[in-house]
Structure 1
Amino acid sequence: MPNIKTFTPAGRLDSNNSAAFEKELLAALDAGDNHILLDFTDLAYISSAGLRVVLLTAKKTKASSGKLVLCNLNESINEVFLVSGFNAILDIQTSKDAALARF
């Protein structure tokens, strides 16, 4: 199994903190961690700024032959991913165990 870097954002992922989260993710990718798990267990809300960070991370992991998997989306966040169509282009799993199995 590859080395998997897990991120667990909490609360809100919006224009107030998405730049800092993006910086964290890009630092991991720059360090060679191209297998990223985003565990949204503690995330209550995601805005378009947060979605942009997720999409950017997906593109960068793919470009580096890595993988991005998301898990534990609450009902409202899952709805945002459905409406935006991101569920069709991202690997979204219901549990952390299921997500880890995707690597």
Structure 2
Amino acid sequence: MEINSKKVDQVLVISVSGRLDTTTAQDFESSCLELVKDESRIVVDLQEVEYVSSAGLRGILSVGKTVRSNGGGLVFCCLRGMVKEVFEISGFASIFSIYDTREQALESA
């Protein structure tokens, strides 16, 4: 798994690639929590994520709760295939705003 971040205007964009599973979920969570600690508008781009396990979902939920408790907003974009399906089946699609493109996510963040 690889995590990259950059600022686009006033929005922090976090791009994740690889697998978000038991092996990588803790690294994802700790990296994201460090990145978002001083941010209020965050987009997580999951276009390059090929798999999300329940451990990965727990990490995502933890980051989301932290951002919201700090008064910020967190949205997701570019989910595809199995990752999109997991978000829908798990109910995460109703917890978080999900956009088809990064541009749509940036506009809403």
TM-score by length of 2: 0.86
Equivalent residue letter for 1:70: F
Equivalenced residue count is 102
Alignment RMSD, CA only? 1.5
Which digits, 9 at most, give the CA deviation of each residue in 1:6-57, with x for residues without a partner?
A: 1111110111111111111111233x12322110111111111111111111
TM-score by length of 1: 0.91
Structure 1 regions of 5+ residues with no counterpart? none
Does the alignment pair 1:26 with 2:22? no
- Identity value in percent: 32
Q: Distance in 2 between matches of 1:29 and 1:74?
A: 24
**Residue aligned with 1:65, SS:** coil
**Residue aligned with 1:92, SS:** strand
Q: Distance in 2 between matches of 1:10 and 1:92?
A: 17
Higher relative contact order (CA 8 A, sep 6+): 1
- Which portions of structure 1, spanning 4 or more consecutive aligned residues, are displaced by more than 4 angstroms? none
Larger strand proportion of the pair: 2
